[in-house]
A and B are shown apart, each in its own frame.
Chain A
Amino acid sequence: MREKWEILAPAVQKEGRKNRTDRLIRAVSAAGMAAGFAGSFFGLAGSRIFYFPVLAAALCALCICGLDQLTGERLPGSFAGLFTAMLVFVFNSSGAVRGIWAWGDRIREQWNQVFGTYYESFFTAEYTGADLWAAGLVLGLLAGTVICELVKKERLFLLTLCTGIPLCAGLLLAVHLPAWIPGLLAAGWLTAWCRVTNPAGTGWGAPLPAVLAGVLLCLLLPVSERIPWRDLSEGFQTRAGQGIRAFRYGEDTLPGGDLTMAGHMLEGTEARLEVESSEKTPLYLRGFVGSEYEGDAWRPLPAEDYSGTYTGMLSWLAEQEFCPGAQYAAGSRFFAGEDDREASVSVKNVGASRCYVYLPETVSGYPENAGYWMQDWSMRASGWFGARSWSFTCAPVQAHAETQVPEAWAPGEGEAYEAAERFRQAEGVYRAFVYEHYLDVGEEEQALIDGVFFQGEDQEEGGSLYTATSRIRTVLCLVAEYQEHPEDLPAGRDFLSWFLQEEKEGNAVGFASAAVLAYRCAGIPARYAEGYLLTEEQAGGGPVTLTSQDAHAWVEVYVDGMGWRAVEVTLGFYEEVYEAEVVVAVSSEDIEGTADGLAGIPHTEEYELPEPEEEAEIPSERKGPAGYLLSVILILGLLPGIVWMSGRLVLAWRYVRMTEEEKMYFLYRRIMGWMSRLYEGFDPGQPLVWDGQTEPPFDAGLYGRTVRRMERIIYGETGPAAGEIPAAEALLGQVRRAAIRKRRTRFGRRKGDRKEESVCRREEAAENRY
Chain B
Amino acid sequence: MTKMVKNRILYASMVLSLLCCGLWGGSSSAAVLVLLLLVLPVLSDAGLHLSMGGISLSLDGEHSCRSGQQMKLKLRMSYGAFRPPGNVWIRMSCENRIFGMEKEGELLLEAGRGRQQEYELPVDTDICGGRILEISSVRCQDLLGLFSCKKSVEETYAYIVYPYEAHMYVSFQKHREREQPGELYDGKKSGTDVSEVFGLREYREGDPLQSIHWKLSGKMKQLIVREFGRPVNYHTLLLLAPALRYGGREVKRETAGAVFDLGASLSRALLDQSMAHFVGYLSGGDLHCTPVDSMHSYEDMLLKLMADSLPGDGDEVLLAFLRRQMYRQYTKIVCVTGAADEAAARDLSVMADLTVLEAVEGPSGYLAGSGGYEVVGISMENIRKKEHVIPL
Which residues of A sit under 8 angstroms from B40, Cβ to Cβ?
190, 209, 212-213
> Using Cβ atoms and an 8 Å threshold, which residues of chain B touch A230?
26, 28
A12 within 8 A of B: yes
Q: A197 contacts which of B27, B29, B144 (Cβ < 8 Å)?
A: B144
- B41 CB, nearest partner CB in chain A, Å: 9
What is the chain B residue whose CB lies nearest that of A235? B23
Residues on A with beta carbons closer than 8 Å to the beta carbon of B18: 164, 167-168, 171
**With an 8 A cutoff between CB atoms, is B102 at the interface?**
yes
Q: How far is the CA of A116 from the CA of B287 in the complex (A)?
A: 91
A203 to B118, CA, bound (A): 16
Q: B25 contacts the other chain (Cβ, under 8 Å)?
A: yes
Select from chain B the residue with minimum beta-carbon distance to A225. B28
Number of B positions contacting A (CB below 8 A):
56
A721 at the interface (CB under 8 A from B): no
Restricting to B1-28, which residues have a CB under 8 Å from any CB of A?
3, 7, 10, 13-14, 17-18, 21-28
Residue in B35, B103, B108, B110 whose beta carbon sits within 8 Å of that of A18 in the complex: B110
Query: Which of the candidate stretches A59-67, A214-222, A412-420, A558-566 sits at the interface with the other chain?
Result: A214-222
**Closest approach, in angstroms, between the C-beta of B3 and any C-beta of chain A?**
7
Of the listed stretches B119-127, B231-239, B272-280, name the one at the interface; the rest are far from the partner chain: B119-127
Determine whether A2 belongs to the interface, using a CB cutoff of 8 Å to chain B.
Answer: yes
B387 at the A interface (CB under 8 A): no
Of the candidates B3, B87, B119, the one whose C-beta lies within 8 Å of that of A10 is B119
B113 & A203 in contact (Cβ 8 Å cutoff): yes
Instruction: List residues of B (64-93) whose CB comes within 8 Å of A's CBs.
Output: 75, 85-88
Give every chain A residue within 8 A of B17 (Cβ-Cβ).
Answer: 164, 168
Asked whether, in the complex, the Cβ of A160 is within 8 Å of the Cβ of B101, the reply is no
Is the pair B24, A229 in contact by a Cβ cutoff of 8 Å?
A: no
Number of residue pairs spanning A and B whose beta carbons lie under 8 angstroms apart: 186
Minimal Cβ-Cβ distance residue in B for A241: B24
What 1/0 flags go to A202-238 for Cβ under 8 Å of B? Answer: 1101101100110011001100110101101110110
Contact of A11 (CB < 8 Å), options: B7, B25, B33, B118: B118
Count A interface residues, CB 8 Å. Answer: 62
* Closest-CB distance, B119 to chain A (whole angstroms): 5
Q: Determine if B109 and A9 form an interchain contact, defined as CB atoms under 8 angstroms apart.
A: yes
Nearest chain B CB to A746's CB is how many angstroms away? Answer: 70
Which residues of A sit under 8 angstroms from B87, Cβ to Cβ? 198-202
The answer to whether B86 and A236 touch across the interface, beta carbons within 8 angstroms, is no
Q: Are A202 and B121 in contact (CB under 8 A)?
A: no
Kindly provide the distance from the CB of A29 to the nearest chain B CB, expressed in whole angstroms: 14
Q: Determine whether A172 belongs to the interface, using a CB cutoff of 8 Å to chain B.
A: yes
> Which chain B residue shows the least CB distance to A10?
B110
Is the CB–CB distance between B100 and A236 below 8 Å? no
Given contacts A160-B14, A212-B43, A227-B28, contact A233 B107 (CB under 8 A): no
| Complex Cα spacing A182 to B99, Å | 59
Give A617 to B171 CA distance when docked, in angstroms.
Answer: 147
Question: In the complex, how many angstroms separate the beta carbon of A146 from the nearest chain B beta carbon?
Answer: 19
Q: Is the CB of B36 within 8 A of A216?
A: yes
The reply on B271 being an interface residue by CB < 8 A is no
Check: A336 CB closer than 8 A to any chain B CB.
no
Task: Let me know if A182 and B33 touch, CB within 8 A.
Answer: yes
Q: How far is the CA of A7 from the CA of B109 in the complex (A)?
A: 9
Contact A233 B24 (CB under 8 A): yes
Contacts of A224 in B (CB 8 A): 28-29, 31-32
Closest A residue, CB atoms, query B74: A12
Judge if A193 is at the interface, Cβ distance under 8 Å: yes
What separation, in Å, do the CA atoms of A11 and B117 have in the docked complex?
7
Chain B positions near chain A (C-beta within 8 angstroms): 3, 7, 10, 13-14, 17-18, 21-33, 35-36, 39-40, 43-44, 75, 85-88, 99-113, 117-122, 141, 143-145
* CB pairs A–B below 8 angstroms (28 shown): A2-B102, A4-B103, A9-B121, A10-B110, A11-B111, A11-B112, A164-B17, A164-B18, A167-B18, A167-B21, A167-B33, A171-B24, A172-B25, A174-B27, A179-B29, A193-B144, A194-B143, A198-B141, A200-B109, A200-B111, A209-B143, A212-B43, A213-B40, A220-B35, A224-B31, A232-B23, A237-B26, A240-B23
Identify the 3 closest CB pairs spanning chains A and B, nearest first: A197-B145, A233-B26, A171-B21
Known: A10-B120, A160-B13, A194-B145. 9 other contacts (CB 8 A): A3-B104, A7-B108, A11-B111, A197-B3, A198-B111, A200-B87, A203-B113, A217-B32, A220-B32
